[in-house]
Structure 1
Amino acid sequence: MISAEHLTKRYGSQAAVSDVSFRCGPGTVTGFLGPNGAGKSTTLRMLCGLTEPTSGRATVAGTAYRDLPNPGRVVGVLLDAGAQHPGRSGREVLTLAARVLGVERRRVGEVLDLVGLTGRAPGKRTGQYSLGMRQRLGIAQALLGEPEVLVLDEPANGLDPEGIFWMRGLLREFADRGGTVLLSSHLLHEVEAVADHLVVIGGGSVVADGSKEELLAGSGTLVRGLDGEALSGALARAGLDTTPTSDGALLVDGSTEAVGRAAAAAGVVLLELRQAEGAGLEQLFLTLTHAGAADVHHAAPVEEVAR
């Protein structure tokens, strides 16, 4: 179980994170989403005891990370795949970690096999690893202590499609055995494929928190016009809020009738007009974070510092 309760982090007069609360239960994968500078990394660092919150509290299995006697046996963490000594081999990195955690040395070979670092890879210095290999090593280190909880920040960076598919299966299996996974990623389609629960943060605050089914039920209207610029203008004049999608359509906070009437009044030819039910995680993300985009710049500079 992961619990964040009213987490706030301020740097001077600027708030990187403001009153963030959410929970991740056993047997679930929670996708933690938000645009750059939204406060994701700062929140994860507070959860893992690397950044002291200005106010609020974060716990893992009911205890603050810093108060866990042997935290690596409770929660496996991957916040930066590059945070390995470049002169040590992958096997050496894991062997040292195993000694710190007090796990048997055989566990090193087990996790190397589990993440696909076999053959000559474990004997190579990590400075010679590709980003994808470093991600696999970081996941292996997170799993080394056989924890109940995983906290992973962008673990799919550098992985090829086969590696991403492998990671999805690994996380799903971990959760299905009763584990708790908190996953931050920019790969929305992969999050949608594996997550049970979604927490979306924008401008340092939680803008959505719920099951994937609830949040992806969606609302509003998806519309596409022959003249996109004219359509946007017509909807703006009608007082309808819009969010552009990645494929050139518009997601509108309004009914299909209202959108159709606005387009007709402006003489705009429509190519597509339908309810946006089940439009997918990308549309949800754009809708929730677009409204707060003007606020994100307040958190962006301090978020970079916090990294």
Structure 2
Amino acid sequence: MIEVDHLTKRYGPHTAVEDVSFRCEPGTVTGFLGPNGAGKSTTMRMLCGMTPPTSGGATVVGRPYRDLPNPGRVIGVLLDASAQHAGRTGREVLALAAATMGVDRGRIAATLDLVGLNATAARRRVGAYSLGMRQRLGLALALLGDPRVLVLDEPANGLDPEGIFWMRGLLRDFADRGGTVLLSSHLLREVEAVADRLVVIGGGRVVAQGGKDELLAGAGTLVRARDPHALRLTLDRAALPATANTDGGFVVRADPGAVGQAAADAGLVLTELRAAGSGGLEHLFLTLTAGSSTREAVR
């Protein structure tokens, strides 16, 4: 189990994460979502003992990461696939990790095979790896200690469609065997396909969390009008948070009745007005993070 309890992180006057709390249960994949700069990576770094929180705390299987005597045997972490020694071969990277964790060296070949790195790739230096190969090696490092928990930040970056499909199956199988997965990714369709629960963060705060089906059932309202500019102004005047989507409409964080009434009061002709739940995770994400900055935080 992962438990994040009122985590806050400030860098001087800038608050990167504010009062974030959630739980990830065994047997589940939890999708951790938010715009760039929302605080996802900072939260995961605090969970994994890499960044000290200003306040609050986080535990893995009931203990802070720093208190785990051999953390790699409990929690597998992949936060940055590029953070590997470029001069070592893939097999050497895993051999060093195995020695550090006290893992039987026989697991090295099995883990390389599990993540799809063959003998030729294992003998190649990491500096010559593609990003997708580094992701696979990073996942091998996370799995090497046979942990009960996985914490993964953008693990599908650099993978081709076949690789993304493979990773989805691997994570689903890990959870189905009783493991706990916390997965941060911008690939919303893949998160929707594999996750059981969702935690959505915006501006450093949790804006929604719960079961995937429960959240997708209440994803706001999709609206379109003959005059999109007038609709935008109307929604702003009515204080209805809205985000333009990719096909000319708006996703509004309100129920259809409120949106329709605002449009009627303004004399607008609507061409579409419906609950956005059928739009899937993309609509939910846009609805919940409407108004959040999409800029990377610079510190």
TM-score between both structures, scaled by the size of structure 1? 0.91
Tell me the secondary structure at the aligned position of residue 290 of structure 1: coil
CA deviation after TM superposition for structure 1 residue 170, in Å: 0.3
Kindly indicate whether the alpha-carbon contact (under 8 Å) linking 1:218 and 1:279 is maintained by their aligned counterparts in 2: no
Name the structure 2 match of 1:305. Answer: none
Name the structure 1 match of 2:105. Answer: 105
Which amino acid in structure 1 is aligned with residue 9 of structure 2? K
CA deviation after TM superposition for structure 1 residue 267, in Å: 5.5
Alpha-carbon separation, structure 2, partners of 1:262 and 1:84? 54
Kindly indicate whether the alpha-carbon contact (under 8 Å) linking 2:198 and 2:212 is maintained by their aligned counterparts in 1: yes
Name the structure 1 match of 2:89. Answer: 89
Name the structure 2 match of 1:271. Answer: 271
Kindly indicate whether the alpha-carbon contact (under 8 Å) linking 2:220 and 2:287 is maintained by their aligned counterparts in 1: no
Alpha-carbon separation, structure 2, partners of 1:16 and 1:253? 24
Tell me the secondary structure at the aligned position of residue 277 of structure 2: coil
Kindly indicate whether the alpha-carbon contact (under 8 Å) linking 1:218 and 1:278 is maintained by their aligned counterparts in 2: no
Which amino acid in structure 2 is aligned with residue 277 of structure 1? G
Tell me the secondary structure at the aligned position of residue 230 of structure 2: helix
Alpha-carbon separation, structure 2, partners of 1:57 and 1:263? 45
Kindly indicate whether the alpha-carbon contact (under 8 Å) linking 1:222 and 1:274 is maintained by their aligned counterparts in 2: yes
Does 2:32 align with 1:32?
Answer: yes
Alpha-carbon separation, structure 2, partners of 1:67 and 1:265? 59
Kindly indicate whether the alpha-carbon contact (under 8 Å) linking 2:7 and 2:19 is maintained by their aligned counterparts in 1: yes
Alpha-carbon separation, structure 1, partners of 2:218 and 2:41? 27
Tell me the secondary structure at the aligned position of residue 300 of structure 1: coil
Structure 1 range deviating more: 6-15 or 265-274 = 265-274
Tell me the secondary structure at the aligned position of residue 51 of structure 1: coil
How much is the aligned-residue C-alpha RMSD, in angstroms? 1.9
Name the structure 2 match of 1:50. Answer: 50
Alpha-carbon separation, structure 2, partners of 1:237 and 1:57? 40
Does 2:197 align with 1:197?
Answer: yes
User: Identity across aligned pairs (percent)?
Assistant: 70
Q: Which runs of 5+ in 1 are unaligned?
A: 303-307
**Measured at CA, do residues 204 and 261 of structure 1 come closer, stay the same or move farther in structure 2, by a change above 3 Å?**
closer
**Measured at CA, do residues 163 and 218 of structure 1 come closer, stay the same or move farther in structure 2, by a change above 3 Å?**
same
Name the structure 2 match of 1:301. Answer: 298
Output aligned runs, 1:1-307, within 5 Å: 1-260=1-260, 262-263=262-263, 268-291=268-291, 293=292, 300-302=297-299
Structure 1 range deviating more: 243-252 or 153-162 = 243-252
Alpha-carbon separation, structure 1, partners of 2:72 and 2:136? 17
The Cα offsets for residues 31-70 of structure 1, whole Å up to 9 and x where unpaired, read as 1111111111111111111111111111100111111111
CA deviation after TM superposition for structure 1 residue 243, in Å: 2.1
Which amino acid in structure 2 is aligned with residue 282 of structure 1? E
Alpha-carbon separation, structure 2, partners of 1:26 and 1:187? 23
Tell me the secondary structure at the aligned position of residue 289 of structure 2: helix
Structure 1 range deviating more: 118-127 or 163-172 = 118-127
CA deviation after TM superposition for structure 1 residue 273, in Å: 2.2
Q: Which runs of 5+ in 2 are unaligned?
A: none
Alpha-carbon separation, structure 1, partners of 2:297 and 2:249? 28
**Measured at CA, do residues 268 and 195 of structure 1 come closer, stay the same or move farther in structure 2, by a change above 3 Å?**
same
**Measured at CA, do residues 90 and 223 of structure 1 come closer, stay the same or move farther in structure 2, by a change above 3 Å?**
same
The Cα offsets for residues 227-250 of structure 1, whole Å up to 9 and x where unpaired, read as 321322344445543221222211
**Measured at CA, do residues 52 and 263 of structure 1 come closer, stay the same or move farther in structure 2, by a change above 3 Å?**
closer
Structure 1 range deviating more: 238-247 or 59-68 = 238-247
How many residues align? The count is 299
